[in-house]
Amino acid sequence: MRSRRAAVRGAVAALAGLLLLTSCSAGSDGEDAAGTSAAEEPQQPVLATPQAGVVMVADAQPAAAALSASRALYASSPAVVLAPDADPLPGDAVDAAEQLHVPLLLAGGDPAALVAELDRLGAEQVVLADGVGEAEVGERDAVPLGEDLPEVSAPDPADGVVALSSGAPETAAAAVTARAAGVAVVDTAGQTDPRASADAVDALAGTRPTTVLALGTAFDGVAGLDWKTATAASGEQLPGGGQLMFPEHFLVAMYGSTEGPALGVLGEQDLAGSIARVDDFAAPYAQLLPDRTVVPTFEIIVTVASASAGPDGNYSTELDPEALRPYVEAAGAAGIYVILDLQPGRTDFLTQAQQYQSLLELPYVGLALDPEWRLGPNEVHLQQIGSVGIDEVNSVVTWLADLTRENALPQKLLVLHQFRFSMIRDRERLDTSRDELALLIHVDGQGSQPAKQDTWNALHQGAPSPVYWGWKNFIDEDSPMLTPEQTVQQVQPLPELVTYQ
């Protein structure tokens, strides 16, 4: 039987042999068979997995915002770049952080918070920009910027994350950290809604983010950034650009039916003629309003008030949405916004609106409700002015807003025609809370200009907020009809929609 001492000697000999074998295979200077030292392999930052939805970086101080961005995006990093809190940031520090794919932090804030973040990251090296002393980082290895940078490999990509930056100075370092992490940073040019900018929509197109990093105090308290960013990421834009109707756009519309001239100027010519004619209506406004994007518009009556009950008994003739589709799509292709106008008779607005869902799912199609033609159970057209209760209107608001959000569509215009207070009962309770929609009250009375101005001014009193406004010029019925110059000068406040009938 072997003695205990002999067993120990045997184990030591075996271990020595193993070490010798390992040494031989690694090479005389510690290199592996490929000649690369394991100690020389670049270290890799590890990105955090941000929570789904909106992650706020709303610190007012730049150094604090830089720390917040680092916490949000990095689980660990072998190195960081530390720069002075300056505006603008040192360009060489920005370049170094993005080249190394590591956080850019700022000196001059809370020293304890800075050290705590370096500890959390496990940062062994700190690249110091000019103006930052080694005392800022304690016992860590400090590398002055300008010397050989540490070797750091790029982290695995951050999928589904996008950063919105308000462009404020306090967000600059945080934006650099986001770019270093491989996150697309979209400058919203001070806008808090990414749908407002055509450039932001283009930048976000196709990203479909699950996490939105909101950089800047401007975003603090803004509701719906997650779905608004997802909508912008769809890439769909309104005629004239962007995804918000107003104040960027100014609409000039022709009203009528595709079935003929009896109901307005839209049907007085064929489709090609209508496209050319609405451009003619819009052109003077583009000259008068150089700071606005003037958008030619069709308002198409798709359910027409009828003198007879019809097969469904509702005193309204509904046009087939699929028969309308070629007309609507041709208008959209020509850069024309399209409004579908409902004259529902004895049925309700929501029931009729839902019949045109397939068209309303197009990004350039909105909706108009015309209460003048909304009848009670025993009423018929032309014996009274119709009316609608606000609860019925709000049901359309809810349905159309939900449809818009679910399909990531640009903001939709919802027009409410009104030339008497009685046409929309309890108007003050209009639901204006849905940012998916731009609500517009269209004052569409006809007659003398003093009478029209009186109606315009009266309907502004006690109006819900926020709403936008529309004005109608009747070519044959107004006495006289205003010219474009007179419309812009005399109709105040300036409407967002001018319609010709």
Q: Tens of pLDDT along 62-117?
A: 999 999 999 999 999 999 999 999 999 999 999 999 999 999 999 999 999 999 99
What contacts 379, CB < 8 A, 6 or more positions away? Answer: 346, 386
Q: DSSP letter at 454?
A: H
pLDDT (0 to 100) of residue 14: 35
* Distance from C-alpha of 69 to C-alpha of 84, rounded to nearest angstrom: 17
pTM: 0.85
* Distance from C-alpha of 319 to C-alpha of 306, rounded to nearest angstrom: 12
Q: Provide mean pLDDT across the span 386-415.
A: 98
What contacts 208, CB < 8 A, 6 or more positions away? Answer: 160, 230, 233
pLDDT (0 to 100) of residue 92: 96
What contacts 339, CB < 8 A, 6 or more positions away? Answer: 253, 297, 298, 299, 300, 365, 366, 367, 368, 413, 415
Q: Is the pLDDT of residue 353 over 90?
A: yes
Helices (H) and strands (E) in the chain, counts: 14, 21
* Distance from C-alpha of 65 to C-alpha of 172, rounded to nearest angstrom: 9
Report residue 25: phi and psi, to 5°: -70, -30
What contacts 273, CB < 8 A, 6 or more positions away? Answer: none
Residue type, 398: T
Higher pLDDT, 147 or 52: 52
pLDDT more than 70, % of the chain: 92
Coil, helix or strand at residue 57: strand
Query: Which residue, chain included where needed, has tokens 């003037």?
Result: 294
pLDDT (0 to 100) of residue 139: 80
- Is residue 364 within 8 Å of 335, Cβ to Cβ? no
99: nearest Cα among 141, 138, 150, 56: 150
What contacts 313, CB < 8 A, 6 or more positions away? Answer: 346
339-369 burial, b for 16+ CB within 10 Å, e for fewer?
bbbbbbbbbbbbebbebbeebbebbbbbbbb
Coil, helix or strand at residue 417: strand
pLDDT (0 to 100) of residue 7: 34
> What confidence tier does 27 reach under pLDDT thresholds 50, 70, 90?
very low
Strand (E) or helix (H) holding 271: helix 271-288
pLDDT (0 to 100) of residue 40: 55
469-484 confidence digits (pLDDT tens): 999 999 999 999 999 9
321: nearest Cα among 345, 349, 342, 337: 342
295-334 confidence digits (pLDDT tens): 999 999 999 999 899 999 899 999 999 999 999 999 999 9
Tokens of 159: 């999928």
What contacts 123, CB < 8 A, 6 or more positions away? Answer: 77, 78, 79, 80, 140
168-180 confidence digits (pLDDT tens): 999 999 999 999 9
- 412-417 and 365-369 beta bridge pairing: parallel
> What confidence tier does 32 reach under pLDDT thresholds 50, 70, 90?
very low
Domain with CATH 3.20.20 in the chain: 249-500
pLDDT (0 to 100) of residue 30: 41
Q: Mean pLDDT for the chain?
A: 90
> What confidence tier does 41 reach under pLDDT thresholds 50, 70, 90?
low
- Is residue 116 within 8 Å of 168, Cβ to Cβ? no
Q: Is the pLDDT of residue 418 over 70?
A: yes
Tokens of 327: 């007309």
Q: Provide mean pLDDT across the span 367-376.
A: 96
Q: Provide mean pLDDT across the span 234-243.
A: 96
pLDDT (0 to 100) of residue 20: 27
Higher pLDDT, 495 or 50: 495
Cβ atoms within 10 Å of 127's Cβ, excluding its own:
28
Higher pLDDT, 41 or 27: 41
pLDDT (0 to 100) of residue 465: 96
Query: Which residue, chain included where needed, has tokens 């007179």?
Result: 486
* Distance from C-alpha of 255 to C-alpha of 299, rounded to nearest angstrom: 5
Strand (E) or helix (H) holding 229: helix 225-233
Q: Write the Ramachandran bin of 359: left for phi over 0, alpha for psi from -120 to 50, otherwise beta.
A: alpha
217-234 confidence digits (pLDDT tens): 999 989 999 999 999 999
pLDDT (0 to 100) of residue 18: 28
Higher pLDDT, 114 or 35: 114
Fold classification of 249-500 is: TIM Barrel (3.20.20)
What contacts 71, CB < 8 A, 6 or more positions away? Answer: 48, 117, 120
- As a 3-state breakdown, the chain gives helix, strand, coil percent values, each rounded to 5, of 40, 25, 40
Q: What angle do CA 501, 298, 328 make, to 5 degrees?
A: 145
Residue type, 71: R
